[in-house]
Amino acid sequence: MTTVTNMPLSDLLKSFKLKTKQQELLIRVSILCLVYILAFITRLFSVLRYESMIHEFDPYFNYRTTLYLTQNGFYDFWNWFDYESWYPLGRIVGGTLYPGLMVTAVLIYRILHFLRFAVHIREVCVLTAPFFASNTTLVAYFFGKEIWDTGAGLVAAILIAICPGYISRSVAGSYDNEGVAIFALLFTFYLFVKAVNTGSLAWSLASAFGYFYMVSAWGGYVFIINLIPLYVLVLLITGRYSMRLYVAYNCMYVLGMLLAMQIRFVGFQHVQSGEHMAAMGVFFLMQVFYFLDWVKHMLSDTKLFQAFLRITVTCAVVVGTIALGLGMLSGYISPWTGRFYSLLDPTYAKDHIPIIASVSEHQPTAWSSFMFDYHILLFLFPAGLYFCFKRLSDATIFIVMYGLTSMYFAGVMVRLILVATPAVCLISAIAVSATVKNLTVLLRSKNKGVLTGSTKGSSSSRASSKALLDQSQPFQKNGAIALLFGAFYLLSKYATHCTWVTSEAYSSPSIVLAARGAHGNRVIFDDYREAYFWLRQNTPVDAKVMSWWDYGYQITAMGNRTVIVDNNTWNNTHIATVGRALSSYEDEAIEIMRSLDVDYVLVVFGGVTGYSSDDINKFLWMVRIGGGVFPVIKEPDYLVNGEYRVDKGAAPKMLNCLMYKLCYYRFGEMLTEYGKPPGYDRARGVEIGNKDIKLEHLEEAFTTSNWIVRIYKVKPPNNRW
Amino acid sequence: MKSLSFFFFFIFIISVFPFLCFSFNPESPTDRRVLVLLDDFSLKYSHSIFFNSLKSRCLNLEFKLSDDPSLSLQRYGQYLYDALILFCPSTKKFGGSLDLTAVIDFVDSGHDLILAADSTASDLIKNIATECGVDFDEDSSAMVIDHKSYAISGTEGDHSLIVSDDFIQSGAILGKTKIEAPVLFKGIAHSVNSANSLVLKVLSASPSAYSANPESKLLNPPLLTGSAISLVSVVQARNNARIMIAGSLDLFSNRLLRTAVQKAGSQDKYHKSGNEQFVTEISKWVFHERGHLKAVNLRHLRVGETDEPAMYRIKDDLKFSVEIHEWSGKNWEPYVADDVQVQFYMMSSYVLKTLSTNGKGLYLASFKVPDVYGVFQFKVDYHRLGYTSLSLSKQIPVRPFRHNEYERFITTAFPYYGASFTMMAGFFIFSILFLYNK
């Protein structure tokens, strides 16, 4: 890509008579600027297609809290007790969230207002993720430069700017923690590698602050605090221990820990929970190592040192194990959480924590989604690893370790593809840059005089010390040209793929659904907002809405009504109670709903539109989660021969449970598709089994125009009975 | 001048307007309109004592035949009456727009109903009763017969005029004064539906009573026997509409009100039956002249403050108060009881306190908010036999401490503070020595 832009530019530059170095700088800066802008605008598809709106589920909570922060200030936000969610338990919002995202957005908002740009906080929230994606490209450039060279840095910036794996969580409107967290993650890593490379206390301090920002932004900081010790350990084992490493790690760990403990949600976990113990262990190991080094320096006798080494190492290991064992036994060190286990053992969540397994983004990743999110990077990644191993340094070891561990996690959970993306981009960039450089060196070796303008080539010829290919090979030049074109072809394919994926797959707000009509026109289903607006306008202010937890954040943010459970799944029992209510018969469910003071029940139903991620398709998870706490709910009761059906052959309990009744109430009268019987469910492609549904304790309050959201009112007890 | 008169007219309309709204006004439940539906206008005279007692208590009775084609309970969505008396047992179909659902809707919107049946009771009347949780004997010719506690009268062998003194023990329903004389009853039996928790047997038959056709020979054992038979039942609906259902229209008649009574096998002879006292007292209950409570001014305050807070903090001390009044028929009087309780409730009750009263209707309690945060409710659930059910709840969130509400320095942590400060000082000194002491 760079070689192509060079050609007309070089002519232009000649007239300005700039020195080669200045030319290179100019090109580099302009490429970075373009990449910066590109990264931003490629994420604006969703704004152009739909409107400037917040997407999906969690972003609505983030938006609501940000709004609260702008209106009430930081201290009220910090101490916010939200009684509109998790009725009647409430949620201490200030202590159970990562405030980095909200504070960042509000800071941008304040700066804009200071500069007299009267923007609404929503616009800031919508554009926060693209803005940070742009910043990430800059970090990727510097990181690439640090571990390889400027060429790799530039390619890395370009690759990460449009990589779908990153775009999936950073399109405009996707106002989620990950949006800023990936920037923070990469920035921390960059600063740490810089600190290791220079041994400078200042860089190490900067990386500690980067780590602090990451901790404030996302729970994924645990990855940093485990990867860095692992990296240090590998360096120690491979004999790459140095004073630089000692300074970088110790300063980063101690300061980073103290800073991280200032975040209320983390607090003492940072020194007490099992997930953080590796870092502490490596910290102590580092001291032992340093001490041994010093003793070795003092003792001239090798034999004596060997003996001393043996004693010290045994003592250190024994003391460490005893401390860990005591900590575990006394409960001072909390064991690993379920989420952490499920990362190490992909089958763990399925057997033990249905609430984690029920989330689609926690599923193990399919091969196709790797291909979809990485495209050619998937093939460049091993090639990049090869180049890294060929030129091992502290920095490349780091990126290799980052790449390999994050690739593993990406395989365990779909959403962690995001964490692997920067590493994959950087390593692939090394592959691209090194290959292209080698090829151009080959081309230039024959006719050096012709291609003087190629700044890229000149820098690489200086950088690469090895002449890779045998000079005597035939068709060498033609082969190199062909390979270059091949690389160019692949990269342009990558660019088209990325743009296509961004526009087709990742720019849907999922709160507004779009489909193709019979004539190829776009049909918009805005049912969610219709329903939430109805709730906001037509229900009492203190009405309690029961729904499956997926919709909790949206109901509180858009409908402004109290919900029983929401996406912050901190109380499994409460969610199980709701699951139990939805999977019981109506007269059993009404008891549960009365005990929770439920006024309205909201279900999402896709039978009319063919929207497949509706409550009927999620229903088995409600049964599983409900049954996990209340054994009266048994999954086999809802299945017929292990099969989940809603038609005539469905299990009797299924046909009469509350969820079925609420979804299919009056649906039996409806003709959804020409040539099909009434009550034909388009999402599942069957005619429903129970068309004559009578509701006793609930009444239909509102159904949106496409029946996607249905709201029912809980009737008061019978007046005369 | 003309505009002034128009203005006065307007004021008049405004001031009259409340009286045009005929629904039960809990603030001043006087001047109530009662629609009385009769099979025959002669009932007006044969039951005049009962009607006169109602009239004397400021109730405006409006008599109509049950098949009057202009019959309607509401006009323009407003109910025209506060109560309905159905003394028309044999009516098969009401005139006008009145039907079963209209009557039930009338009750469900908070209005009172007195229903009397007898052996001629039609399906319509029985269905209304069924809707209220009372099932009349399905055998249309059956009557309550009692061969042991019948009233001794001129015609020997007629044991369908029975006497009963098995009253419900409730001062709220039947008044403070005990009904000495037994009540004469001639009519059909009903049983209360066990699924309905709101219906109460006010007057039950004796254990020897049964429901059968007195004219014919008893072939099968009767379905309704003994004290399962209810003679008069009342229902207090959840919206506090009150319903009385009697199996006998004669119960209210002048004849039975004035008859001397002697129970078979008993030497006690009363020169007047208990009917008059019974029907008067029970009609007072039905028309909310007794046992009607209202709870107002539910307040809660943090101790030492005067404004009601929107949210409490854990471990706050608070004061809770509520006023409970009873309608005496003329005005609201303080209700005095020592068993009113308040709950501080979140899924289960965390605090349960009996409220103390000052005898003027004000109930008070003060307690400490538990060390649990969440959305709590102040709940007063007061259900007493015959009284209006009071179910008050007021939602109030309880938050945890703010970051600056904890104690700044804890005595037990002084060793820790000491350690920190000595560490800081030591580090400072060490740095100076290390840097400048060569």
**What are the sequence ranges of the domains in chain A?**
19-175, 526-714
pLDDT surpassing 80 at residue A54: yes
Beta carbons within 8 Å of B179's beta carbon, 6+ residues apart: B165, B167, B274, B277, B278, B281
Contact B403 A79 (CB under 8 A): yes
Does one domain contain both B234 and B330? no
In this predicted structure, what is the pLDDT of residue A467?
44
Angle of the A572-583 helix axis to the A615-629 helix axis, nearest 10: 120
Q: Establish if B101 touches chain A: CB-CB under 8 angstroms.
A: no
Residue A33's pLDDT is what? 96
Give contacts of A 685-714 with B, CB under 8 A.
none
Position B333 in a domain? yes
* Residue B59 forms part of a structural domain: yes
Q: In whole angstroms, what is the distance from residue A345 CA to residue B38 CA? A: 81
Same domain for B355 and B282: no
> A446: how many CB neighbours lie within 10 A of its CB?
12
Distance CA A236, CA A231 (A): 9
pLDDT tens figures, B152-178:
765 666 788 888 888 888 888 888 888
Report d(CA A10, CA A452) in Å as an integer.
9
Q: For A597-611, what is the mean pLDDT?
A: 91
Instruction: Residue B24: give the domain boundaries.
Output: 18-286
Q: Are residues B61 and B144 in the same domain?
A: yes
Domain contains B73: yes
Beta-ladder partners of A546: A601
Any A CB within 8 A of B194 CB: no
Is residue B243 domain-shared with residue B301, that is, in the same domain?
no
Inter-chain touch B375–A719, beta carbons under 8 Å: no
The whole-angstrom distance between B1's CA and the closest CA on chain A is 47
B235 touches chain A (CB under 8 A): yes
The per-residue pLDDT of chain A, averaged, comes to 88
Beta bridge partners, B261, equal B270
Please write down the long-range contacts of A380-384, taking CB distance under 8 Å and 24 or more positions apart: A380/A427, A380/A428, A380/A431, A380/A432, A381/A407, A381/A424, A381/A427, A381/A428, A381/A431, A383/A428, A383/A431, A383/A435, A384/A426, A384/A427, A384/A428, A384/A429, A384/A430, A384/A431
Q: What is the largest distance, in Å, between two alpha-carbon atoms of chain B?
A: 133
The CA distance from A458 to B69, in Å, is 107
Contact at CB, A719 and B347, closer than 8 angstroms: no
Residues B239 and B298 in one domain: no
Same structural domain for residues B191 and B303?
A: no
**Partner residue facing A87 (CB), from B238, B375, B399:** B375
Strand duo B112-116 + B356-357: pairing: unpaired
Q: How far apart are CA A679 and CA A668, in angstroms?
A: 4
A446: confidence class by pLDDT, cuts 50, 70, 90: low
Q: Residue A149 has which token pair?
A: 């060279």
**CA separation for the pair A610, A504 (Å, rounded):** 19
Judged by CB atoms within 8 Å, which residues 408-437 of B form the interface with A? none
Helix (H) or strand (E) holding B281: helix B275-286
* Beta strands per DSSP E along A203-349: none
Assess B348–A contact: CB distance below 8 Å, yes or no.
Answer: no
Predicted confidence (pLDDT) at residue B5 exceeds the cutoff of 80: no
**Residue labelled with tokens 């400078």:** A200
| Digit-coded pLDDT (tens) for B355-385 | 999 888 899 999 999 999 999 999 999 998 8
**Residue-level pLDDT at A451:** 41
Contacts of B195 in chain A (CB under 8 A): 721
Top pLDDT among A118 and B29 is at A118
**A559 contact partners, CB below 8 Å, separation of at least 6:** A531, A532, A533, A535, A536, A545
Distance (Å, rounded) from C-alpha B151 to C-alpha B263?
A: 5
Domain count within chain B: 2
A719 at the B interface (CB within 8 A)?
Answer: yes
- 8-state DSSP, A718: P
- Closest in B133, B311, B346 to A720, CB measured: B133
Residue of chain B whose Cα is closest to the Cα of A719: B238
Contact B402 A92 (CB under 8 A): no
Give me the pLDDT at residue A153, please: 94
Set of chain A residues whose Cβ sits within 8 Å of the Cβ of B132: 720
Mapping DSSP onto H, E and C, the string for B371-406 reads CCCEEEEEEEEECCCCCCCEEEEEEEEEECCCCCCC
Q: At A6, is the secondary structure helix, strand, or coil?
A: helix
pLDDT one-digit tens code per residue, B31-54: 788 999 998 889 889 999 999 999
Assign a CATH topology to domain A526-714.
Rossmann fold (3.40.50)
Per-residue pLDDT at B261 exceeds 90: no
B403 touches chain A (CB under 8 A): yes
Q: Which of A241-250, A353-362, A691-700 is the least confident region?
A: A353-362
Rounded to an integer, what distance in angstroms lies between the CA atom of residue A370 and that of residue A378? 7
User: Based on the domain organization, do B213 and B329 belong to the same domain?
Assistant: no
For A479-512, the pLDDT digits (tens) are 888 999 999 999 999 999 999 999 888 888 888 8
Judging by beta carbons within 10 Å of its beta carbon (0-12, 13-18, 19+), is residue A691 exposed, middle or buried?
Answer: middle
B208 within 8 A of B134, measured Cβ to Cβ: no
Residues B276 and B393 in one domain: no
A513 bridge partner residues: A525
> Given this model, what pLDDT does residue B28 score?
54
Return the amino acid letter for A543: A
Mutation for testing the A interface, residue in B106, B375, B404 having most A CBs under 10 Å: B375
Query: Using an 8 Å Cβ cutoff, are A425 and A160 in contact?
Result: yes
Can you give the C-alpha Rg of chain B in angstroms?
A: 32
Q: How confident is the model at residue A458 (pLDDT cuts 50, 70, 90)?
A: very low
The residue of chain A nearest to residue B194, with distances taken between CA atoms, is A721
Q: Which positions ≥6 away from A11 have C-beta within 8 Å?
A: A453
Nearest of B379, B343, B382, B340 to residue B357 by alpha carbon: B340
Confidence of residue A72 (pLDDT cuts 50, 70, 90): very high
Closest residue by Cα to residue A286 from A325, A316, A331: A316
Give the residue ranges of DSSP H helices in A86-163: 100-114, 121-147, 150-162
Cα–Cα distance, A579 to A522 (Å, whole number):
35
User: B117 with B250, same domain?
Assistant: yes
Per-residue pLDDT reduced to its tens digit, A92-151: 998 899 999 999 999 999 999 999 999 999 999 999 999 999 999 999 999 999 999 999
Name the pLDDT band for B19 (thresholds 50, 70, 90): very low
Chain B nearest C-alpha distance from A82 (Å)? 9
Q: Answer yes or no: is B420 within a domain.
A: no
Q: Residues A384-398: what's their mean pLDDT?
A: 93
Residue from A192, A205, A339, A348 nearest A273 by CA: A339
B204 and B261 together in one domain: yes
Q: For residue B10, what pLDDT is reported?
A: 53
* Segment B322-330 mean pLDDT: 87
- Report pLDDT for A454: 41
Interface TM-score (ipTM) > 0.90: no
pTM as predicted: 0.86
Q: Is B193 part of any domain? A: yes
Lowest model confidence (mean pLDDT) among A503-517, B9-23, B246-260: B9-23
- Nearest chain B residue to A720 by CA: give it: B237
Crossing angle between the packed helical segments A367-374 and A377-390, to the nearest 10 degrees = 80
User: Which of B108, B241, B373 minimises the CB distance to A90?
Assistant: B373
Same domain, B296 and B270: no
B238 lies within 8 A of chain A by CB: yes
Query: What is the structure's pLDDT at A292?
Result: 86
CA atoms within 13 A on the CB side of B141: 6
Nearest Cβ partner for A83 among B198, B347, B375: B375
Question: pLDDT band at residue A521, thresholds of 50, 70 and 90?
Answer: confident
Residue-level pLDDT at A462 = 41
Cα A2 from Cα A154, distance rounded (Å): 9
Torsional sign, CA B38, B39, B45, B46: negative
Residue B114 has pLDDT above 80, yes or no: yes
Report the C-alpha gap between B434 and B228 in whole angstroms. Answer: 100
Check: CB of residue B177 under 8 Å from CB of residue B200. Answer: no
Do the domain assignments include residue B1?
no
Q: Does the distance separating the beta carbons of A721 and B108 come in below 8 Å?
A: no
Contact residues, B window 102-161, toward A, CB-based 8 Å cutoff: 104, 107-108, 131-133
Give the tokens for residue A550. Answer: 């997926």
- The per-residue pLDDT for A306 is 86
Q: What mean pLDDT do residues A313-324 have?
A: 89
The whole-number pLDDT of residue A603 equals 94
pLDDT for res A16: 62
| Interchain contact, A721 vs B131, CB within 8 Å | no
Q: Does pLDDT of B16 surpass 70?
A: no
Residue of A nearest to B348 (CA): A595
CA distance A398 to chain B (A): 34
> pLDDT by residue (tens digit) across A188-245?
999 999 999 999 999 999 999 999 999 999 989 999 999 999 999 999 999 888 999 9
pLDDT cut 70: percent of chain A above it? 94
DSSP conformation letters of B251-266 = GGSHHHHH--EEBTT-
pLDDT class of A11 with cuts at 50, 70, 90:
low
Residue A48 distance to chain B (closest CA, Å): 42
A354 preceded by a cis bond (ω within 30 of 0) = no
Q: Which chain A residues are Cβ-neighbours of B112 within 8 angstroms?
A: none
Chain A residue closest to B400 (CA)? Answer: A81
Q: Is the Cβ of A74 closer than 8 Å to some Cβ of chain B?
A: no
Q: Are residues B331 and B271 in the same domain?
A: no
> Which tokens in the block code for residue A592?
């549960």
Give the per-residue pLDDT at A10.
60
* Number of CB pairs, chain A paired with chain B, less than 8 A apart: 62
